[in-house]
Amino acid sequence: MYTLKYYICFALTLSLIGCKKPGKLEEMQEKDWYAGGTQTVFSSGSGAFGAAFNGLSGTEMFVHGVGDLAFESTFVSAPAPKNSGLGPIFNSVSCVSCHIGDGRGKAPEPGEPMISLLFRLSVPGQDAHGGPLDVPGYGGQLQQRAVFGSQAEGNVNISYAYATYTFPDGTTYQMRTPSYTLTNLYAALPGGVMISPRVAPPVFGLGLLEAIPDANILAREDVNDANGDGISGKANWVWNVLAHQKTLGKFGWKAGNPTVMQQTASAYLQDMGITTFLFPKESSYDQPQYDNLLDDVELSDSLLYAVSFYMKTLAVPARRNVQNADVQKGKQLFESAKCSACHTPGQRTGVNVAFKQVSNQLIFPYTDLLLHDMGPELSDNRPDFAADGAEWRTPPLWGIGLTEIVNGHSNFLHDGRARTLTEAIMWHGGEGTVSREAFRNMSAADRAALLKFLKSL
């Protein structure tokens, strides 16, 4: 997976760090090019999102490797001697088919198959825990594929409307607005169904994000905008299956899951139809496609732990070109445009004696992990626990500049509608309006500098 160049570069870096006095070491590590603290890797190639944490023990590396293999494993329909239990209705056959290179999914162009874009479904109301209410006969997610002998729930036709706009300096840019139509439905949908398109997010650095203390995140909450800055970050309180209570949501586009493990188990169930001890009931339960096989749970507890640990121990790529004058100027513009009000640069993880690799790390994910109103144009009009239709969790920006290299595209936002960083910025509304307008009114040179800064992350 790793090149000789990577090992040489990493060894030299460790050597340089080793030559520093303790005070200098702390100073060096607190520069934001160490995006993941000590769990930063100096890799900028196609494998940049797939490097393991530094300092894992032999046993931990073994578990990480087991999780890596399971992450890449293709499931098949039951009964089968290996990787059994796919479906009977599903979206994908493996984790890696959506999170290619441990990175970001892509919205399909019209006519292309949906591979790493899914659609959440719900009807008005809340379930027993205050979450989205499943659609009778469909559950909480549309599964557009099925094993032999079963019927898929349906499909989605995607079309785009394109419009060209002009910056005040005369430079033009294009935006595309997606439209979705559910087709080939196996059964009639009830009235009021809400749909939410979601592309697969990157999975590196999740262990560090999970290690940020709840108190640190909640300290930035300002639901009523008491300080009058136009930013009213809000926490999402979601059902924690293991804790049997609501806890702080950190993962998913609307922070709908509290832990990496629950996010992982939910994806196994909804995306692949694979049951676990957290979610032992098939996604097709109470539907005609339900297979009635007595094979649940289908993924062993140990494999669920291993896959979760794999994602928790994926390191973060270092920033690049940090001494470049345009990058430094772009960073200043990022601050002056108030982008950092939501995309908070630095976070400190808590002390964790049981998992020292994430303990007390100064990291730079560029997120506050809170919900923010992004305006009606980005709204999916579908609530998710405390998140309303227009509210989305601030996505981390670390590694965003390597998306094209790792994933071969530059699609951004929750539904992948933005094909460039410029488009992504110009889609910001609601609490992001001030930053969007600051970007709009910059000179072409300043906009280029800000984009160059983002690509250095």
pLDDT higher than 90, residue 364: yes
pLDDT band per the 50, 70, 90 thresholds, residue 30? low
Q: Mean pLDDT throughout 352-379? A: 97
User: Which backbone phi and psi does 405 adopt, to 5 degrees?
Assistant: -70, -45
* Alpha helix stretches (DSSP H) within 295-443: 301-312, 325-336, 403-407, 421-426, 433-440
263 in any annotated domain = yes
Mean pLDDT over the full length of the chain: 93
pLDDT higher than 60, residue 15: no
451 in any annotated domain = no
162 in any annotated domain = yes
pLDDT of residue 192: 95
pLDDT higher than 80, residue 226: yes
Q: Mean pLDDT throughout 332-359? A: 97
- 278-333 per-position pLDDT tens digit: 999 999 999 999 999 988 999 999 999 999 999 999 999 999 999 999 999 999 99
211 in any annotated domain = no
Q: Mean pLDDT throughout 395-417? A: 97
Measured CA to CA, the distance from residue 204 to residue 102 in angstroms comes to 7
- 66-90 per-position pLDDT tens digit: 999 999 999 999 999 999 999 999 9
The domain in which residue 289 lies consists of: 66-201+258-312
The answer to whether the beta carbons of residues 232 and 373 sit under 8 Å apart is yes
Percent of the chain at pLDDT > 70 equals 93
* Alpha helix stretches (DSSP H) within 19-87: 22-29, 58-72
**Helix 301-312 / helix 58-72 crossing angle, nearest 10 deg:** 100
pLDDT of residue 22: 32
pLDDT higher than 90, residue 7: no
pLDDT higher than 50, residue 25: no
Which DSSP letter does residue 150 get? S
The mean-pLDDT minimum among 21-25, 155-159, 189-193, 422-426 falls in: 21-25
Measured CA to CA, the distance from residue 339 to residue 357 in angstroms comes to 29
If one counts the domains in the chain, the total is 1
> Quick one: 355 exposed, middle or buried, by C-beta within 10 A (0-12, 13-18, 19+)?
middle
pLDDT of residue 17: 34
pLDDT of residue 110: 82
185 in any annotated domain = yes
Q: Mean pLDDT throughout 207-227? A: 96
pLDDT higher than 50, residue 3: no
121 in any annotated domain = yes
Task: Kindly compute the dihedral angle of the four CA atoms of residues 305, 307, 312, 316, in this order, to the nearest 10 degrees.
Answer: 170
401 in any annotated domain = no
Helix (H) / strand (E) containing 266:
helix 260-272
61 in any annotated domain = no
Q: Mean pLDDT throughout 42-47? A: 96
pLDDT of residue 345: 96
Which DSSP letter does residue 139 get? B
For 140, other C-beta atoms within 10 Å of its C-beta total 17
Measured CA to CA, the distance from residue 214 to residue 47 in angstroms comes to 31
